[in-house]
Amino acid sequence: MSDSARLVVEGLRARVEGKEILNGVDLVVPTGEVHALMGPNGSGKSTLAYTLLGHPNYEVTGGSASFDGTDLLPLAADERARLGMFLCFQYPTSIPGVSVVNFLRAALKAQGKEMPAREFLRTLSAVMGELKIDESFRSRYINDGFSGGEKKRMEILQLALLRPRLAVLDETDSGLDVDALRTVAEGVDRVRGTDMGVLVITHYPRILEYLRPDAVHVLHRGRVVVSGGHDLARRIEADGYDPILGAGAGTAAREGNP
C-alpha cells in the first residue's frame, strides 16, 4: 500500500441486524484524491459509509480499516471525527431549536478548532460567500424546513468550515434537480484539496461529470468488483451496471490504475 494513503480498507466485512452486508471490501483513498464508489441499490454502499464512520448498529465481523495509520475499528464515532473523518448524510437530520451558527461553532470547538466569535463570523461569512449560500442560513435552525437542495448545501457548508482530512459523501446527489446537483458538486470541488481525500458514494454518475474523480469503484454484493478511471462511470451511464457486473462480479476485475 502507498505510504501516502489515508484510508485503507482490507477485507472488511460487516453486518446489520444479523445480516451480512459487506463481504470483504478492499479500498484505498489517498489524500488529495476524489474516489467514487458506485453500485446498484442494495450493494452495500451506505453500509460501508456508516461502518467506516463508526455507526453502532453496524457490526464489523472481519477485515480491517485504518485512517492515516490509525486502526479505526476500536474507535467510537466521535473519535473518528476528531481524526478528521466527515460524513455527508444521504438524508440529513433536522434539529429544531439549534441555529446553524451555533451548531457550526460547537462543531469547530469539538474538533479543537475554536476561534473568537468575531473571527468565526468573518470566516463563516467568507465561506458562505464562496459557496454562494445566502447569509440568512446563519439564523435558521439546522435543516428545519430546508428543501432537499438546502439540506445538501448545509452539508457542504459544514464540510468547507470543518476542513476534514477525509470526506465521505453518502449519495449527496440523491433527490437533487440538475441546478442543485451542480451547486453541490461545485461546492465539493471548491473545498477539496491536497490535504483532503473524498469518497463520493453514488448510484448515478451525473455528479461525477462535475467532480471528475481520480478513480471509480463499483461495489456489488458487498465487495468492490471493478475499479477504473472516469471512463468507467461513463460506461455505467451509457450501458448500466449489467455489462460491467457480468464481466467483473466473479473475479474482482481491475481496469486501469486507480
Q: Which residues of 151-177 are buried (b: 16+ CB within 10 A; e: fewer)?
A: bbbbbbbbbbbbbbbbbbbbbbbbebe
- Listed by start position, the domains of the chain span 5-93+164-248
Q: Which residues pair with 14 in a beta bridge?
A: 22, 60
pLDDT averaged over 10-residue windows placed end to end, the chain, 258 residues = 73 95 96 92 93 95 95 95 89 89 91 88 91 86 87 87 91 74 80 86 82 92 94 89 70 38
Q: Strands 34-38 and 215-220: what pairing?
A: parallel
Give the pTM: 0.86
Residue 219 C-alpha cell reads as 461495489
CATH code of domain 5-93+164-248: 3.40.50.300
Identify the pLDDT of residue 5.
64
The separation between the first and the last C-alpha atoms of the chain, rounded to the nearest angstrom, is 12
